[in-house]
Amino acid sequence: MKRIINFLVLICILFSSIALAEDTRAPLRLGGTITETDYWKNSGIPTARPNYGWDDYMTIVQSDTAPDLYSLHTGSDDFSALKNADMLANLSGSEIIQTWTDRLRPDIKSLVTTEDGIIVGLAEYVFLLPMYWRQDAWDAAGLTKEDVPQSYTALLDFLEKWMERIEEKPEKNICVADMIDSGKNSYVRWLLDMLINSWEMQKYYAGETLNFNTPEFIALLERTQDIGMRLYEMEASEKKRQNKLQLFENYSGGERYNAGRNYGLSHTVPFRITRDQPELMRGMARISIVRMNSEWLSEIIGCMENSLTDRALNGGGNADLLADVQPRLHNPKDGNSPSTVTVGYLADLEHYTGTVCFAPMLTFTMHEAALVKFWTGQLSAEKLASQISESKRDPNK
């Protein structure tokens, strides 16, 4: 009996030594907005969360403390560049992740897979941020679909004509927009958002260097400021505009799925400067990625599979992300205000002929102070164009 006990003790010591040898890996490093902390704790997996500051993923992945798992936002990081640089681990070995990826809408599926179909990112959420034109206000104004601006310059032309119209005969029940920002010159701010995003997206889509300091852009800035300021003076106050029909509305974070209207992308102004450019739609995506050659790949895939299983059981997944979402009440647990996903909204997603563009959009973050000075009339178009062309990632610098 004593020999048996000694043998069992020896076996326990042997297996304990093997277990200790397997646990010599550094803690699994997390970055971005990864939230599955309970999963790691319950699985007995040590984790660390280094402070990466304002650095982008392309920078931190080359550091000594590069994260194993990172939650990336396409508004801040160029996912396509990371994919092309061969920095991301292959997630295709998971049947659950493959099934989830097959459910994605074409634009986002193309984003997270390589040309030969390898999955290099787990798409978590997608948000479309269009500039809508409102059918009820359009009808009340006697406008037709042919009047809808098909570019940013066409939008400025439309507003010029609208000001001529309301100067001759003021509108009692219709306004251009109920602003996302209140205050004087808020129309300049509203137009500037469309201009800068259109410029950024078109340059990114064309593979060109982003540069605002050009005669063309400066002229657009000057015209934006002029029209925005005149329109603000001619239209009613923000308080009065809230009770009017609005011709346009860009997504401001409060309305999901076009606030339950029975249409969506069929009623949008494309993000392009001129009509001869590609028809682009602004999109933001949150994607979980794994560092190439991470020692924790199998454990991370297990966490991803657990998360996807939970989402499937709870009906998770938003309509802008998944191609098989049915008309329903949007679940506020997904992180947004509840709203209805209508048949018309889904049909517009299905038949949209443009391209959802996931370009990084950092200008408003990096140069907020300069932009505020411009739309409040304290900075010239030339100086603004020069300042926002400077490459500064840290908004605090």
User: What pLDDT is stored for residue 290 in this prediction?
Assistant: 97
User: What pLDDT is stored for residue 36 in this prediction?
Assistant: 62
User: What pLDDT is stored for residue 249 in this prediction?
Assistant: 87
C-alpha to C-alpha distance for 155 and 381, rounded to whole angstroms: 19
User: What pLDDT is stored for residue 167 in this prediction?
Assistant: 94
C-alpha to C-alpha distance for 107 and 116, rounded to whole angstroms: 16
pLDDT at 397 over 60: no
C-alpha to C-alpha distance for 265 and 390, rounded to whole angstroms: 34
Percentage, residues of the chain above pLDDT 90: 68
Mean pLDDT score, 29-33 = 90
Give the H/E segment covering residue 280: strand 280-290
User: What pLDDT is stored for residue 179 in this prediction?
Assistant: 65
Confidence of residue 202 (pLDDT cuts 50, 70, 90): very high
Output the six-digit token pair for 310.
């939970």
User: What pLDDT is stored for residue 9 in this prediction?
Assistant: 43
The larger pLDDT score, comparing residue 152 to residue 36, is at 152
C-alpha to C-alpha distance for 368 and 388, rounded to whole angstroms: 9
Render pLDDT for 341-378 as a digit per residue (tens, 0 to 9).
899 999 999 999 999 999 999 998 899 999 999 988 89
Check if the beta carbon of residue 155 is closer than 8 Å to that of residue 224.
no
User: What pLDDT is stored for residue 8 in this prediction?
Assistant: 45
Domain ranges, ordered by start, for the chain: 27-128+283-351, 131-250+377-388
Q: Compute the mean pLDDT over every residue in the chain, rounded to the nearest whole number.
A: 87
Mean pLDDT score, 31-51 = 86
CATH for the stretch 27-128+283-351: 3.40.190.10
Render pLDDT for 56-107 as a digit per residue (tens, 0 to 9).
899 999 899 999 999 999 999 999 999 999 899 999 999 999 999 999 999 9
Please give the backbone phi and psi of residue 282, each rounded to the nearest 5 degrees, phi first. -70, 125
Tokens 């990336």 sit on residue: 72
Confidence of residue 333 (pLDDT cuts 50, 70, 90): low
Please give the backbone phi and psi of residue 69, each rounded to the nearest 5 degrees, phi first. -125, 135
pLDDT at 168 over 70: yes
